[in-house]
Amino acid sequence: MEDRCIICGSSSLKLCFRLPYFNVLQCSECGIMFKSSVLEKDKQEELEEVYNSEKYWGNPQRRAETVNYDLHHKRVRIYRRILQKLADLIPQRGCLLDVGCAKGVFLDVARREGWQPIGLEISSFASQYARDNFGLEVFIGTLGEAPWPDASFDVITMLDVIEHLIDPSSVLLQARRLLKAGGILVIETPNARSILHYAAKLIYTLSMTSVKWPVFQIYGVGPEGHVIFFDQNTLIYLLNKNGFEFLYSDFDAMGQALWRSATLVERLAGTIDNVGSILFGGKYHMLVFAQSGERSSNLQLGD
């Protein structure tokens, strides 16, 4: 059976990177990039098992997401900025669903800002942590299994989630169903046109594909983790395809979004991201705001 793009269905795929456990492909029609591993049968179920494993949540990067989080932590400041932009769009704070809520830190910050927070998480461990430590309402499962009726939420957030999905269109359709007319969708994901992506590709190409570690830093060393890679144009295409209207985007440097204590390589990458993006544009993290259905006349776009 011929391989096809997981977004637009085109069979016109080109090879970007050939790596030990997967290849990175790009669709010539819509421009989306993804790992070849997503074309395997039942891959989403396999990925969900990974994200629900003790090994995944035992990673030091995730152990820092605890009830004792620092309000001044860089990541929390990003959360608060997201919520301020939402408040500009929806002054009357309503019900907010965070898809892939992890241990619940973002939802706790949202509650402090006056939102009515609800979480969705496939990991039973993370869900239980959010309930026990933050007293949050969290449903265990996927968006397609969610128990809420149509038009239940004013806002749905997906922070560092969409890059893990092999069928993001179906997830966005479910999100649109659950949003009220004019509701807001917020997606945070790495930007595939960042200076770090270009640098990794340049090193890979100039070395005649022999130097792969910068590519591993961007795309991962295995077939799991991030499996689909968006830039602003491909994400807008996906949003429009599934009934959302793009509002605006915001970009952030890699180093500002890390929970963990960065390694030397990560600190170097953060410096390149900060300095390079000033010179050439294209920071690593992309934050996109979109709206379901027709734009309400009383919504005011943020700066």
Tell me the C-alpha distance between 7 and 32, whole Å. 7
Q: Which amino acid is at 254?
A: M
DSSP state of 293: S
Using CA atoms, how far apart are residues 273 and 36, in angstroms rounded to an integer?
Answer: 27
pLDDT tens by residue, 22-73: 999 999 999 999 999 888 877 667 767 776 766 666 665 555 567 788 888 8
d(CA 169, CA 281): 28
- Cβ atoms of residues 156 and 188 within 8 Å: no
Pairing of strands 13-18, 285-292: unpaired
One-letter amino acid for residue 275 of the chain: V
DSSP β-ladder status, 116-121 and 95-99: parallel
Q: If 0-12 CB within 10 Å is exposed, 13-18 middle and 19+ buried, where does residue 43 land?
A: middle
**pLDDT attached to residue 73:** 80
More confident residue, 71 or 14: 14
E strands along 122-210, which residues?
137-140, 153-159, 179-190
Between CA 3 and CA 43 the distance in angstroms is 14
| pLDDT, tens only, 224-253 | 789 999 999 999 999 999 999 999 998 875
Residue holding tokens 């010179």?
279
At 294, the pLDDT band (50, 70, 90 cuts) reads low
> pLDDT for 158-173, tens place per residue?
999 999 999 999 999 9
Say how many C-beta atoms besides its own lie within 10 A of residue 114's C-beta: 11
DSSP strand pairing (137-140 vs 116-121): parallel
Q: pLDDT category, 256, cuts 50, 70, 90? A: very low
CATH code at 44-292: 3.40.50.150
11 or 125, greater pLDDT: 11
Residues β-bridged to residue 121: 140
What local confidence, expressed as pLDDT, does residue 44 receive? 67
Domain ranges of the chain: 44-292
pTM: 0.88
pLDDT in tens, 85-112: 999 999 889 999 999 999 999 999 999 9
- Decide: 242 and 12 in contact? Cβ < 8 Å: no
149: left (phi over 0), alpha (psi -120 to 50) or beta: beta
